[in-house]
Structure 1
Amino acid sequence: MRLHRSLLTAAAVSGLLLVTACGSADQAGSGKSGGLHPPALKAPTSLGAPEGQVNLVAWAGYVEDGSNDPKVDWVTAFEKQTGCQVNAKTAATSDEMVALMKTGEYDAVSASGDASLRLIAAGDAAPVNTALVPNYADVFAGLKNKEWNSVKGVSYGIPHGRGANLLMYDKKKVTPAPDSWSAVFDKASAHSGKVTAYDSPIYLADAALYLKATEPELGITNPYALDQKQFDASVELLKAQNKHVGEYWSDYLKEISAFKSGDSVVGTSWQVIANLAKAEGAEVEAVLPKEGSTGWSDTWMVSAKAKHPTCAYKWLDWIVSPKANAQVAEYFGEAPANAKSCAETADKAHCATFHASDEAYWKNVHFWTTPIEQCLDGRTDATCVPYAKWVQAWNEIKG
């Protein structure tokens, strides 16, 4: 298994301007979908003959053809079955994905929640006709029609998989076993210099989620919808945490190494990292704290300018089919989107480990969503802080 995810690193100026725009002139109103008013694009009602190729933008590990590992290949069978040659571009960040999709050179993208709203608002992603994706019927209900992949009941993509950001700790050095994010916030001084945190502006949402539970007077209901007072409180919490952080991580190998050496003993992580760390001898455990957690849910979206729409739809149906979705979920380290994939995994415990069918578990996970000025919690009497300012604040927090 190989894991690659380095989301929301310092954004390019163009990416920041795009986020700001998406949170102002391009969006107004209220509602669960954050008041988005995308261009009036239509999903296809039928598909034509395959065009012979499809150009994809994806996270590393999502489009494997055996060239990285001969044993890992779900692309070759797709090409043989459909006649669509796959041309994949690996992107390192969501901002890169947004920029690439604006060129019109790519047919589909595996967008995370921090990118999907930007693509929808800018008219770079088209609505998706889920009836043309037969395997969509077997996608877990908890992934369908969510605020990061749909607007006003209109679907803009096919869910790929999901994962939670967990609290990982050294079982020997952190006792009693923590069940709260207080271990890295209010009680961080107990392990000062050995606390680790995810290196990304979106980590502000983790602080907001903790404040939602511990300071209810702030009125936080959605960790991605923060008015100025709520945002300032989250920033102050992370500034206080900063003096106890030994390392901010974005490279999972560095986090594993830090826990093995004892340089880190508690901090945010992913289930797959905990599994790999244990396999390498680290005495760690990972839990979903009582306050809940943030997390990710990726969505395959079709370009509004797709030159190969039929092949793009065939790819969407293929990647969410039981076997292919099982393969990519195991290789990447996440819960599959297709409920039938659990019967196809090589590791029969994979779905249990990643809580694939445990919808009660996912109700406590707040999936990454692009912060915009129109508050995503539906408030119309407040202005929320857009992502560009999250990036600025993150740089100040880290000093």
Structure 2
Amino acid sequence: MTRIPRRAARVGTTALAIASVAVLTACGTTSGSTDGGEAATELGEYEGQVSLLAWPGYVEDGSNDPAIDWVTPFEEATGCVVTSKTYGTSDEAFNLMKTGEYDVVAASGDATLRLIAAGDVAPVNTDLIPNYEGIYDFLKEKEWNSVDGVSYGVPHGYGANLLMYNTDEVTPAPTSWDVVFDAAGDYSGKVTAYDSPIYIADAAVYLMAHEPELGIENPYALDETQFAAAVDLLKAQREHVGEYWSDYLKEIQAFETGDSVVGTTWQVIQNVLAASGATTDVVLPEEGATGWSDTWMIGSEAENPNCAYAWLDYIASPEANGAATEYFGEAPSNEAACEFRSEGSCEAFHAGDAEYAAQIWYWTTPIAECVDGRTDVECVDYAGWTTAWQEIKG
């Protein structure tokens, strides 16, 4: 996955409540441990610093915009000085975490299981994270952020990969992904698709509804036969794709110029286009959609586990979660975060709408052990998806 910070929604300096962070100033003498793949049982004194690895726009300290700062209140409350590094793709994040140089990573679902399987992140004890209680239940203990009922992090924000269309060119208004797959020829050369191996799951979502005989139960758990069908669908789509996009600014431009008239998008992109008067709209198609739910995770070799736990609790608080997710352009994970976002922003991203969220297949790292629970076959892992994606694009 490649992600550019989405700044359609901006938030001013918020008086972030920090009382919850103080709870984590533990009186125990044993510092939080991530050794041996076990979650900490208690926390000790803060170490005075914490290193974060995150998507652009997730760790704002006022240096990019003086009005955008949720890091300073955390530092003042805990004494944990934040250093951060941004990355551009999930593959980059995965490789950087292997160095053991980062205490915390904000990872998307196409990286989380890889990080867990590699032993690069540790289980977390959610009892030590008071704000975890406020996280929406439909984001907790899911296949992309937990293993065998053990949590590996705290959900941050989430969103769906929607279908965008030019309302003048694509009529009637589409209700299905067929306009970019079986009927893509109607808009040949002006179809756009997300540029990542994880996009193979979008084809699988379509096949789940239109070729049920394949038996696909989860778009991230594809055996060889199911995977081949998804790849074939994308190879057929390829001749009609005008542009694969990963930079959201380029997709905005393509829809403004008319180079693209239909394809995958994010709600924030539609918000930007609507504000500029563009003739576009979005829909969550009848087949459902893929999407993302990012997770804050603690490195298995974290040198500052106590400050790491403090950050996970702080960024999950209503105030900080509200500020960070609105700035980035996604739904918050904390149920009370909407109280700290601008009017209408949560509604625009369907925040807290469990029925809407249930139609989203959140990015999950494909692994050989099928995440749909099957044990009689092996599924194609992420390496296989990457190889196939290169073949699809040619």
TM-score (norm 2): 0.91
- Name the SS of the counterpart of 1:305 in structure 2: coil
Q: Displacement, 1:63?
A: 0.2
Q: How does 1:272-283 map to 2 (within 5 A)?
A: 272-283=268-279
Q: Distance in 1 between matches of 2:256 and 2:135?
A: 37
Tell me, yes or no, if structure 1 residue 352 matches structure 2 residue 347. Answer: yes
Q: Quote the Cα distance in structure 2 between the aligned partners of 1:378 and 1:6.
A: 28
C-alpha separation in 1, matches of 2:238 and 2:305 = 47
Shift, 1:95, TM fit: 1.4
Letter in 1 for 2:377: A
Q: Who is 2:93 aligned against? A: 97
Secondary structure of 2:143's aligned partner: coil
Matching residue of 2:48: 52
Q: Give the deviation of 1:102 after TM superposition.
A: 1.4
Give the structure 1 partner of residue 363 of structure 2: 368
- Whether the 8 Å contact between 1:260 and 1:281 is mirrored in structure 2 is no
The answer as to 2:165 corresponding to 1:162 is no
Q: How does 1:112-131 map to 2 (within 5 A)?
A: 112-131=108-127
**2:13 counterpart residue number:** none
Distance 1:105 1:375 in 2: 31
1:205 aligned onto 2:204: no
Equivalent residues of 1:191, 1:244 under 8 A apart = yes
User: Aligned-pair RMSD on alpha carbons?
Assistant: 1.3
Tell me the amino acid that sits aligned with residue 78 of structure 1.
Answer: F
- Return the letter of the residue paired with 1:217: E
In structure 2, C-alpha distance between the alignment counterparts of 1:40 and 1:152, rounded to whole Å = 17
Counterpart AA for 2:263:
G
The 2-side partners of 1:100 and 1:229 are apart by 33
Q: Number of residues paired by the alignment? A: 364
Residues in 1 aligned to 2:120 and 2:232: alpha-carbon distance in whole angstroms? 36
Preserved contact between residue 181 and residue 233 of structure 2 (Cα < 8 Å): yes
- Please state whether the residue corresponding to 1:167 is helix, strand or coil: strand
Q: Using the TM superposition, give the Cα deviation of residue 281 of structure 1 relative to its aligned residue in structure 2, in angstroms.
A: 2.4
Q: How far apart, in 2, do the equivalents of 1:218 and 1:236 lie?
A: 13
Select the residue among 354, 357, 378 that pairs with 1:383: 378
TM-score, length of structure 1 as denominator length: 0.90
In 1, Cα distance between the equivalents of 2:120 and 2:263?
Answer: 36
| Distance in 2 between residues matched to 1:201 and 1:102, nearest whole Å | 21
Partner of 1:329: 325
1:13-24 mapped onto 2 (5 Å cutoff): none
Say whether the 8 Å CA contact 1:54–1:312 is kept in structure 2.
Answer: yes
Q: Which residue of 2 aligns with 1:397?
A: 392
CA deviation after TM superposition for structure 1 residue 386, in Å: 1.0
Matched, 1:229 2:203: no
- State how far apart, in whole Å, the 2-side matches of 1:395 and 1:119 are: 23
Q: Distance in 1 between the 2:346 and 2:318 partners?
A: 13
Deviations 1:371-398 (A, max 9, x none): 1111111111111111111111111111
2:177 pairs with one of 175, 178, 181: 181
Indicate the SS of the match to 2:208: helix
AA paired with 1:152?
D
Task: Tell me the alpha carbon deviations over residues 184-214 of structure 1, each in whole angstroms, 9 at most, x when there is no partner.
Answer: 0011111111110001111110001100100
Range that drifts further, 148-157 or 273-282: 273-282
Distance across 2 between alignment mates of 1:358 and 1:295: 14
Q: Partners of 1:7 and 1:299 in 2: how far apart?
A: 15
Tell me the distance in 2 between the aligned counterparts of 1:279 and 1:395: 35
CA contact (8 A) 1:7 1:200 kept: no
SS of alignment partner, residue 295 of structure 1: strand
1:196 and 2:196 are equivalent in the alignment: no
Whether the aligned pair in 2 keeps the contact of 1:171 and 1:283 (CA below 8 Å) is yes
State the 1:118 CA deviation: 1.2
- Does residue 81 in structure 1 map to residue 77 in structure 2? yes
Which residue in the other structure is 2:286 paired with? 290
Residue number in structure 2 paired with 1:250: 246
Q: 1:216 and 1:127 mapped to 2: Cα distance?
A: 36
Question: Counterpart in 1 of 2:14?
Answer: none
Contact 2:163 2:177 in 1 (8 A): yes
Among 62, 68, 93, which residue is 2:64 paired with? 68
Aligned to 2:26: none
Q: SS where residue 86 of structure 1 aligns?
A: strand
Tell whether the 8 Å contact from 1:120 to 1:126 is kept in structure 2 after alignment.
yes
Q: 274, 295, 298: which one pairs with 1:299?
A: 295
Q: Match for 1:108 among 76, 100, 104?
A: 104
Runs of 4+ in 1 over 2 A off after TM superposition: none
**Residue 319 of structure 1 pairs with residue 315 of structure 2:** yes
Secondary structure class of the residue paired with 2:336: helix
1:327-363 deviation per Cα after TM superposition (whole angstroms, max 9, x unaligned): 1111100000100101110x22111111111001111
